[in-house]
Chain A
């Protein structure tokens, strides 16, 4: 089975990379971009039957720094 973990900065946490991307998009002439937030996608290839709780544990202990980041788990097939 596979799972995707999306790690994003908590709202309210300044995202300098997102700001730089936003600025670059504007520089390329793309209008109407209100805000950009950058995050990470981590794909896990897991033994069948790995529990959702185990994946959450992985997120809390390593994949995300919950001081500044949120995570969302998407189990895919």
Chain B
């Protein structure tokens, strides 16, 4: 199993994500600094972690999305390599155009940091195969800019194509149609605001996030 976690100035969940990849995937991921122009060959999974890349300057994820390493991530994603972006990673993937829509300031303008109920909308995706469709899980969120917005056509298409992976179980941050996580049209890129890597082992108080990584590594590991 060969994985990588991209690290930007201001990333702060990169090590948590690396622990998740190592615990579930069995090998330590390569940590790739944002200035790199190439990724290691033969990656099975790429992680884009949470944090406050580039201090959230201009817009959350905007600067990171234009950094050299993201061109390499976009190339890998186009070749079908699975990419998971969590929190700031989701913001970066939308800014980079790998996922549709945008993440705006939370509707109530507050930073929200608490465990939140999610509904697994689609258990067929590369990332959700260890969950049941409609299952209710609890995963922590910690964000200020998690308010997912896209035009109505895009939202209809996401829902119609089964590309909504997770929905908030109640209103949370103002997100259109309570969307918490989506996949791209090829199904190999997931962006989500909640932090599954923070619900990995009993010491976290909750292990609902672990099955995401188990399902993903099971599928890519063959």
Give the B-binding residues of A (Cβ under 8 A): 13-14, 16-17, 20, 61-63, 65, 67-68
Decide: B105 and A67 in contact? CB cutoff 8 A. Answer: no
Decide: B107 and A14 in contact? CB cutoff 8 A. Answer: yes
Decide: B58 and A62 in contact? CB cutoff 8 A. Answer: yes
Per-position 1/0 for B98-115, Cβ under 8 A of A: 001110111111000000
- Complex CA distance for A17 and B147, rounded to whole angstroms: 13
Cβ contacts under 8 Å, B136 to chain A = none
Decide: B62 and A65 in contact? CB cutoff 8 A. Answer: yes
The distance from the CB of B9 to the nearest CB of chain A, in whole angstroms, is 17
The distance from the CB of A67 to the nearest CB of chain B, in whole angstroms, is 4
Cβ contacts under 8 Å, A67 to chain B = 94, 100-102, 149-150
User: Interface residue count for B (Cβ, 8 Å)?
Assistant: 19
Cβ contacts under 8 Å, A63 to chain B = 58
Cβ contacts under 8 Å, B177 to chain A = none
Residue of B nearest to A38 (CB): B105
A-B contact count (CB 8 A): 36
Instruction: Indicate whether B174 reaches chain A with its CB closer than 8 angstroms.
Output: yes
Residue of A nearest to B63 (CB): A62
Decide: B66 and A17 in contact? CB cutoff 8 A. Answer: no
- Complex CA distance for A62 and B59, rounded to whole angstroms: 10
Decide: B109 and A17 in contact? CB cutoff 8 A. Answer: yes
- Complex CA distance for A65 and B100, rounded to whole angstroms: 12
Cβ-defined partner of A16 (8 Å) among B94, B95, B108: B108
Decide: B109 and A13 in contact? CB cutoff 8 A. Answer: no
Find the residue from B95, B100, B104, B106 having the highest chain A CB count within 10 A.
B104
- Complex CA distance for A3 and B133, rounded to whole angstroms: 52
4 smallest A-B Cβ distances: which pairs? A67-B102, A68-B102, A16-B109, A16-B105
A-B contacts besides A16-B109, A63-B58, 17 pairs, CB < 8 Å: A13-B104, A13-B149, A14-B147, A14-B149, A14-B174, A16-B104, A16-B105, A16-B106, A16-B107, A16-B108, A20-B109, A61-B66, A62-B58, A62-B66, A65-B59, A67-B94, A68-B102
- Complex CA distance for A17 and B107, rounded to whole angstroms: 9
Per-position 1/0 for B58-71, Cβ under 8 A of A: 11001000100000
- Name 30 A/B residue pairs within 8 A (Cβ), A-sorted: A13-B104, A13-B149, A14-B104, A14-B107, A14-B147, A14-B149, A14-B174, A16-B104, A16-B105, A16-B106, A16-B107, A16-B108, A16-B109, A16-B147, A16-B174, A17-B105, A17-B109, A20-B109, A62-B58, A62-B66, A63-B58, A65-B95, A65-B102, A67-B100, A67-B101, A67-B149, A67-B150, A68-B102, A68-B104, A68-B149
